[in-house]
Each structure stands twice: as structure tokens, then as C-alpha cells.
Amino acid sequence: MEDFYANLIDKLISIAICRGVEHLNLETYLYSANDQRPSPAPYKFPLSLFADGKGLSVTKLILAECTLSIPVGFAGFKSLVELSFTEMHISEDMIQTLIENCPNLECFRLRLCSGARHLKIASPHLQLREIMVKSCLQITHMELFAPKLQQFTYRGPCISMVLSSVPLMEHACLDYEGRRDGESVKYILGKLSQDFSLLTSLSIVLNTYRLKNPVIPEVVPTPFKNLKSLTLGAIMHCNDDIGWVTMLLEVAPVLESFQIELLTNEKREHPGGVLWEPSDNAHRHLRQVKFYRFRMRQADVALAGLLLARAPLLQTMTFSRGSVHRSPGQTAQYVEAAADWTAEQRSAITRRLETCNAFGARLEFRS
């Protein structure tokens, strides 16, 4: 960035601090992706302006495409509640230093950042309630020691995680991108319930495309103790085995709500039996099941039938033609399909599941 513009931004930030600004959002996207000019040097955010007790009014700081240099004696942001970095190069040491010097920080977000490989957020005095790490592809290991953490969101490749002390964490959203070798499924079935044992709500998005061989864990997974709500979205080949889904359900013995969206290609299959050998495990607490993008595939119908037959308290099973749209940083929203279910389609699904519905759950259809 040219010195003239950098000095101008420095002055504007200084004025904002003097006037008691609470929310500071600085995104220095100078050129578009199609711009042919060379990329300018990123703006150096002036942490020195916050020295000597200045900037105590700032509670929310959002930075994008900036660089940071922590000055000697930097005492942090004493009143900061939310801190967010996007498309920035920032090391794990800098992250730890900033977090340790933000005693009231409750929300920390990293998006598309580089520079950190072993991300460690650890302090017995942290007030952090929410942590989000999305598409920071250089991170290969993460360690969290945050006694007040309640919500964790992660998007990226399957990596090793150590959660040393997170007794209050209730919700996690895990989006495993870019892997088709089954490693994410192996982790979900083998170790996820150990790392996130106290969750009450869990959302998983993953890619199992062409994962043709069943993923059988070597040992029986540790059950989730408190998991009551599970949302699963998987990109897969239409002929892939989904036996791993039933295994995941079996390690959630107190599950009450289950939502699933299987994204496949458009190839159709002839009606048939179950593609896998499920156990006789009963889902005694399950009350609500929702299928999104339901396409009457052989495996989908078999999974629906299995849940109807094994969930004595199941009240409703909903079949939706539409999908769940997940925008970065936004709440997932349901998108209706262009066409509603026909009477013939509803009748066909009901008929195929009639013998499985021994407990009389209500079947609902949504466009």
C-alpha cells in the first residue's frame, strides 16, 4: 500500500480511537481478482496506536488483508470481546500473544489465514466462548485449552486436535474439505467422540466421493455422552456404501434429532435391499429425522427404513426435495426445490417404508 493511503488510514483509526469507537472493521481489498496491476504491499495495522491505555472503547476488531507487528510492551485490548482475521499472515506466537492480552475476549475467528501450523490457544483465564477456524490450510495441528468455550467451528482438511479442557463446549461444526481418501470418516468414527465427548449438538460436512469400501474402526468408538442433535452433509458417489452413517448413529445413544443431506450424482438405481449389514442397535431417544435432497436411492430408503424400525419413540420423519445452503459466516438456510413431490412419489416412498414403520411415525413431505 502506498504511504499516502497508509498514513491516511492511520489518521482515521487514530480519530476513531479518540472518539471512542466500539466496532472497528478494516478490510483493505484494494484491487479485484481480475485487476492486472501488481498486488500492493498489505497495510500494516498500527497496534502502537493502542498503547498507553488508548483504544479501551474497542470491543470488536475485524481485520482483513493487513499485517501485524506486535510492539514491545504491547498490553493488548483490555475491552476487546470479538477479534477476527481474514486473509492475513499471522504466526501462532502472535495469535497466542494477542489472545493472552485480551482478558475479555469471547469470540475469535480465523479465515483464509497463513503463517500458523500448530495453532495453540491455551490459558486457564480465557473468557473465549466461540472459536472459528476456516480454510487456514497450513494448520496441521490444533490444541485448545479454553475452559469457557461453548462453540467451535472448523473448516479445512482433517487434522489432529487436542482439546485439553473444554468442559462447557456444547456445539461444534466441522466441515472437512478437499479429502477423498476416507481419512475424515476414519477420524469421525474413531476419535471424534473422544475429542468432543461433551457435545450436545454436532454438524458435520464431508466429502466421501468414491469411498467404496466400508470404513470399519479397529476398536469400538467411545460413545458421545450428551449428543442430542446431529446434522450430517456428505458429498458421495451414488453407489457408495453409507454403512459408516449407521456406525456414527450408534455412537450417539441419546440422540434425539438427526438431519442428513447426501449429495450424489444423478444416476438412479433400481429398488433393492440394504447395501450394508447394520447391527441390531436401537435408537431409543430419537424423535425427529429429516432427509434433505431425498432421491429414493436404494441406500437412502434403506437408511430411512432402518431408523423407522429401530426408533420406538420416533414422532416424525421428513423427506425434503430441497437442500440446505451453507454460506460462509452465515447460518445454514433451507432452499426449496423447484418442483414439489408428486402424489405418485409420496405413495411410492410410503409404500416402500410401510413394513418398517412398526411404531407408527408420521411421514412428512416438503418441497
Q: Grid coordinates representing 222?
A: 467411545
Q: For the chain, what is the domain count?
A: 2
Whole-number pLDDT of residue 156: 92
HSE, CB side, 13 Å, CA atoms: give it for residue 2: 4
* pLDDT surpassing 50 at residue 338: yes
Look up the domain containing 213 and give its range: 170-367
Residue 159 and residue 219 in one domain: no
Residue 159 and residue 188 in one domain: no
* pLDDT surpassing 60 at residue 278: no
Q: Grid coordinates representing 62?
A: 475485524
Residue 175 and residue 129 in one domain: no
Domain end call among 165, 195, 228? 165
> In what helix (H) or strand (E) does residue 190 lie, and over which residues does it extend?
helix 183-190
The tens digit of pLDDT for each residue in 72-123 reads: 777 778 889 999 999 999 999 889 888 888 889 999 999 999 999 999 988 7
Residue 322 and residue 189 in one domain: yes
**Worst-scoring range by mean pLDDT, 16-25, 146-155, 231-240?**
231-240
Instruction: Give the span between the Cα atoms of 289 and 185, in whole angstroms.
Output: 21
Residue 157 and residue 176 in one domain: no
Residue 226 and residue 339 in one domain: yes
Residue 150 and residue 214 in one domain: no
Q: State what percent of residues in the chain have pLDDT above 90.
A: 41
* pLDDT surpassing 60 at residue 37: no
The tens digit of pLDDT for each residue in 169-218 reads: 899 999 987 666 677 888 888 888 888 888 999 999 987 766 656 566 77
Residue 127 and residue 175 in one domain: no
Domain end call among 136, 165, 194? 165
Residue 88 and residue 231 in one domain: no
The tens digit of pLDDT for each residue in 307-334 reads: 999 999 999 999 999 888 765 545 677 8
Whole-number pLDDT of residue 214: 58
Domain end call among 113, 133, 165? 165
Which of 15, 18, 43 has the alpha carbon at shortest distance from 29? 43
Residue 222 and residue 158 in one domain: no
DSSP 257-293: EEEEEEE--S--------SS-------TT--EEEEES
Residue 152 and residue 174 in one domain: no
Residue 98 and residue 80 in one domain: yes
